[in-house]
Chain A
Amino acid sequence: MKQVEGKEKLREYETIFIVRADANEEVLQRTNKRVYETVARLNGKIVRFDNLGRKKLAFPVAKNPKGIVMLAGYLSRDGKTVDEIQRNLRMQDDVVRIHSKRIADDVDPESKAAVDLTDDKNKIVDVADEPLRPERDDRGRGRRDEFDAYDDDFVASALAEHGDNESGRGRGDRGGR
């Protein structure tokens, strides 16, 4: 790791993990505590820890359509902390998905405040389901929201055309009788 003017710069990583939807708060607390302990043991620093709530997943994971999503962002000297967190999480039967990503290099550890594990992060909060596709109005146009600050007609019409091509039954292929 780079040494700049005697100060050590760290890397920022984040790990997102999904806990079984039927797990109770005790399990969640134990898992979260384990992440904190692992980072602390390897001289890292947790700078973000969010409970994204129990939400519907795009497909069932571990036979459950829902999952409790937790997000941990931390500073570390190298990737060993990531390995260690992933190893620890894999040992937990209630953790069904783990995904880690490097966010930034050369982060000054003093520029980011440490986040403590508070009780509200161990609570299970249900999140409303997102629609699978953007809602369309009668004219088949795409949803208008803050993201569509420009003319979105092209994407909407392209989606309609593209979707038709993908319906799996083109001309001359009407399927078996």
Chain B
Amino acid sequence: MRDFDRDRERDHDDDFDRKRRGGIQKRRVCRFCVDKLPDVDYKDTSMLRNFISERGKILPRRLSGNCATHQRKVAVAVRRARQIAFLPYVVSAG
């Protein structure tokens, strides 16, 4: 699908608009605090993949919902994982 097609479709997507305007209040909780998960492990790539975007960037707190402490730990863990080639530094398009 071309980009502008997708944009047009998104603009006509009522559900999307409602979400964007804040009609739906999403729960934004730190999953590490709530589920009392063990500390962030830089080797656990399947878990860390939840906190990076499709481009390989670290998701901001705004999106990940982490508390400050755990966001910091996740960010460090992602950087460690990148060093040992467990996670990408960047995912190129195409």
Q: Decide: A169 and B3 in contact? CB cutoff 8 A.
A: yes
The yes or no answer to B93 lying at the interface (CB within 8 A) is yes
Q: Give the top 9 A-B pairs by smallest Cβ distance, nearest first.
A: A154-B26, A57-B85, A58-B88, A158-B63, A163-B54, A166-B55, A99-B84, A61-B85, A169-B3
Chain B residues whose CB sits within 8 angstroms of the CB of A153 once the complex forms: 26
Q: Decide: B50 and A59 in contact? CB cutoff 8 A.
A: no
Count of A residues near B, CB < 8 Å? Answer: 39
Q: Decide: A162 and B59 in contact? CB cutoff 8 A.
A: yes
Residues 69-85 of chain A: 1 if any B CB is under 8 Å from the residue's CB, otherwise 0? 10100000000000000
Question: Can you list 18 A-B contacts (CB < 8 A)?
Answer: A16-B43, A18-B85, A52-B43, A57-B86, A58-B82, A58-B86, A58-B87, A58-B89, A130-B45, A130-B46, A132-B88, A134-B49, A157-B26, A162-B54, A164-B6, A167-B93, A169-B3, A174-B4
In whole Å, how far is A158's beta carbon from the nearest beta carbon of chain B? 4
Residue of A nearest to B25 (CB): A154
The yes or no answer to B72 lying at the interface (CB within 8 A) is no
Interface residue ranges, A against B (CB under 8 Å): 16, 18, 52, 57-59, 61, 67, 69, 71, 97, 99, 101, 130, 132-134, 142, 145, 147, 149-151, 153-155, 157-159, 161-164, 166-169, 171, 174
Chain A interface main SS type: mixed
Count of B residues near A, CB < 8 Å? Answer: 40
Q: Decide: B49 and A168 in contact? CB cutoff 8 A.
A: no
Selected from B35, B49, B53, B65, the residue in CB contact (under 8 A) with A149 is: B35
Distance, CA A130 to CA B85, complexed state (A): 13
Most chain B CB within 10 A, of A58, A153, A157, A159, is at A58
Chain A residues whose CB sits within 8 angstroms of the CB of B89 once the complex forms: 58-59
